Amino acid sequence: MDAEYMPSLWGVRLRGDELILDYCQKSMDNSAITRQDLPCELGLRYGPHPRETMDVYGYGRVPEDAPILVFFHGGYWVEGDKDMHAFVAKPFVESGLAVVVAGYPLAPESTLDQIVESARLCMTCVIKMSKQKNSAGIIISGHSAGAHLAAMVLSSQSWTSRSESLTCIKGAVLFSSVLDVKPLLSTSVAKDAAITVNQAEINSPLEVVNLFPQDVFVQLVLAEHDPPPFHRQTKRYMKALRDRGIRCELVVYSDEDHFSFFQRLMDKEDEVTSQIIKNVLRETGTA
């Protein structure tokens, strides 16, 4: 069961620890270059936890009222950080968006419930910033466990029922998403993150899709060689969204895996990346 949910075992060119090390090194190198090349404000605090900080990229190069894309990193809620994911900002800033790369508390120190609430707290802060800047709108995004957080932010009735949330948030971009936490209960992932049965049930986007706001566009993204459960869950989620009349679209990075597709994401001229950006700009009225 573990193997089916371990993206590093499904790599195209590398596998296992070699793939993870390669991804981490490229991510850190590309992020260092991004921090040099793009105007940025680092370590802005949105909550009391030491990891509740965010980095903002683009202002000074993009207009003050530019759309804002928020990105939550992956790592199965137990690893990863915002610093090594600065590179995600590159194609979007080059296309006229400001980008927020968010940090958040990790398990097992924090529970999955607390991590989801942290993501919502971050978005509350970004909404405030968006209103101050008269932004064209917010796109919430994430990769893997970060995509799970993005989906869960938009699946809280108490949060999305606030008028400012629905007014500001125009869309979601979910890369290689974890959309059903329950199957992870029989894997080492749940043990490492100390996820309980109750936490898995109430924090599975597929279980709360009925709470997803009706007018937020969802861009689903997969790598061709993402593990099979990621493909199955994404297609189930797409059907569930469409059954509720929610607009959504799926694009796939061919011949890429859970990690390698990021190299193409950084190129705004890439066929798949350009389609994602086109949809983001359309939803924020800045195409």
Measured CA to CA, the distance from residue 153 to residue 216 in angstroms comes to: 12
* Nearest C-alpha neighbor of 159 from the set 206, 216, 110: 216
From residue 111, give the alpha-carbon distance in Å to each of 103, 218, 237, 243.
15, 27, 24, 31
* Residues with a known catalytic role: 144, 226, 258
Burial of 133 (0-12, 13-18, 19+ CB in 10 A): middle
- Strand partners for 72: 102, 142
Neighbours of 3 (CB within 10 A): 10
Contact 170, 216 (CB under 8 A): yes
Left (φ > 0), alpha (ψ -120 to 50) or beta: where does 74 sit? beta
| Cα R_g (the chain), whole angstroms | 17
Chain CA centroid to CA 16, Å: 23
Q: Burial code of 95-108, b = ≥16 C-beta within 10 A, e = fewer?
A: bbbbbbbbbbbbbe
Helix residue spans in 38-171 (DSSP H) = 89-93, 112-132, 145-153, 157-160, 163-168
Assign 18 to helix, strand or coil: helix
In this structure, what token pair is assigned to residue 233? 């869950």
